[in-house]
């Protein structure tokens, strides 16, 4: 379970997070929406332990992310897929994954499995820098799934994907969910929110809404624009 309690973060004079509360239950897929600059990525960086919040508490599997020991432990529990492609362009797909196998102390065969799982085995020998946008995202996904993390955090994972790759991508997520993984996904697409059990909306540095899509539809809010307009402005 992921628990975020009253997290605040300030950059200079700008208060990015002003007491965010968020809970993601075990085995749940949670969506996170918000306009650009709402603090979604900052929240995720705090959750992953790469940014230290000014105040608040964050627990993953009851381990405190904000202390050094907890942060070290949760790194192997989390699989993070960033918004932008961050793999070595001058290594092949296979070498990139093998590099990470070495980091996690996994056998190299694991890279083959995850390539099959993410449907990029046919590009195994291609340099990551030469991959198309869709394949790059799948490689990022593969690197996040490599060590079979309990928590998967996806930051706008399908932003650069065409509908076919997007469908493939969500097939992989659904498949992975069967392993009782907890997934937090940032998205701007309504059709992806449908895949989530619950979602939260961040606005003005706070959790403006936390619930299911059905609750929105009851209020007559039928698209993301309407939801964001209601809570942000």
Partner 1 sequence: MLRFLKLMGYETKRIFRNKLIFGMLLGFCVLLICSLFLVQSSTREYVVAVYTDGIENVEESDTIKIMNVRRQTKLVEVDSAEKGMDMLRRGDAIFFLRLSAALLDENGEGPVTATIYYDGSSYVINNIVDDIKDERDRRAYIALVDFLNEWGISVNSAYFRPVEFRQVAQKGNSEKTIFTHDQMAFGLEIAACVYLILLLGIAYSLARDRETQVSKNISYIPIGHNTYFLSKIVPFFILGMLEMLLICVLGAKLLGIAFQVNLFVVWALSSFFVMATIAFSLLCSMMKNQISSVFLGMMSLLIPLFVEILVVIPALPTYMRVILNFFPVTAFMRFFNGMVYNGLILWKNIFIFLGQTVGYYLLALFVIKKQS
The contact set with partner 1 (CB under 8 A) reads 48, 50, 72, 75-76, 78, 80, 82, 84-91, 95, 98-100, 102-105
CB closer to partner 1 out of 80 and 176? 80
CB closer to partner 1 out of 92 and 187? 92
Q: Give the residue among 122, 184, 102, 117 at the shortest CA–CA distance from 148.
A: 117
CB closer to partner 1 out of 77 and 117? 77
Cβ at position 117, least distance to partner 1 in Å: 19
**Residue 153 has which token pair?**
């955090």
What does the angle CA 86 – CA 187 – CA 66 come to, to the nearest 5 degrees? 65
CB closer to partner 1 out of 105 and 220? 105
CB closer to partner 1 out of 51 and 230? 51
Cβ at position 212, least distance to partner 1 in Å: 29
CB closer to partner 1 out of 78 and 224? 78
Cβ at position 160, least distance to partner 1 in Å: 15
d(CA 90, CA 71): 30
DSSP string, 2-65: EEEEEEEEEETTEEEEEEEEEEE-TT-EEEEE--TTSSHHHHHHHHHTSS--SEEEEEETTEET
d(CA 144, CA 153): 8
Cβ at position 77, least distance to partner 1 in Å: 10
User: What burial letters (b/e) apply to 2-13, b meaning 16+ CB within 10 Å?
Assistant: bbbeebbbeeee
Cβ at position 88, least distance to partner 1 in Å: 6
Q: Where are the alpha helices (DSSP H) in the chain?
A: 40-48, 68-75, 93-104, 109-117, 133-145, 163-177, 190-193, 213-218, 224-232
**Residue 163 has which token pair?**
């509908």
Cβ at position 9, least distance to partner 1 in Å: 15
CB closer to partner 1 out of 151 and 176? 151
Cβ at position 157, least distance to partner 1 in Å: 14
Q: Give the residue among 75, 8, 74 at the shortest CA–CA distance from 43.
A: 8
């Amino acid at each position: 379970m992921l628990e975020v309690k009253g997290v605040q973060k300030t950059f200079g004079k700008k208060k990015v997070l002003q007491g965010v509360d968020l809970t993601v239950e075990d085995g749940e897929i949670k969506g996170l929406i918000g306009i650009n600059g709402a603090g979604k990525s900052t929240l995720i960086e705090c959750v992953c332990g790469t940014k230290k919040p000014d105040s608040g508490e964050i627990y993953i599997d009851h381990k405190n992310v904000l202390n050094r020991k907890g942060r070290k432990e949760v790194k192997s529990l989390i699989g993070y897929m960033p918004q932008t492609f961050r793999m070595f362009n001058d290594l092949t797909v296979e070498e990139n994954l093998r590099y990470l196998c070495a980091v996690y102390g996994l056998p190299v065969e694991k890279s083959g499995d995850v390539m099959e799982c993410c449907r990029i085995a046919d590009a195994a020998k291609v340099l990551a820098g030469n991959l198309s946008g869709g394949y790059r995202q799948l490689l990022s996904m593969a690197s996040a799934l490599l060590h079979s993390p309990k928590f998967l955090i996806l930051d706008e994972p399908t932003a650069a994907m065409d509908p076919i790759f997007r469908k493939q991508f969500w097939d992989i997520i659904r498949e992975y969910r069967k392993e009782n993984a907890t997934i937090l996904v940032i998205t701007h697409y309504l059709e992806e929110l449908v895949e989530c059990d619950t979602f939260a909306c961040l606005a003005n540095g706070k959790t403006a809404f936390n619930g299911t899509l059905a609750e929105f539809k009851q209020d007559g809010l039928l698209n993301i624009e309407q939801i964001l307009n209601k809570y942000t402005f």
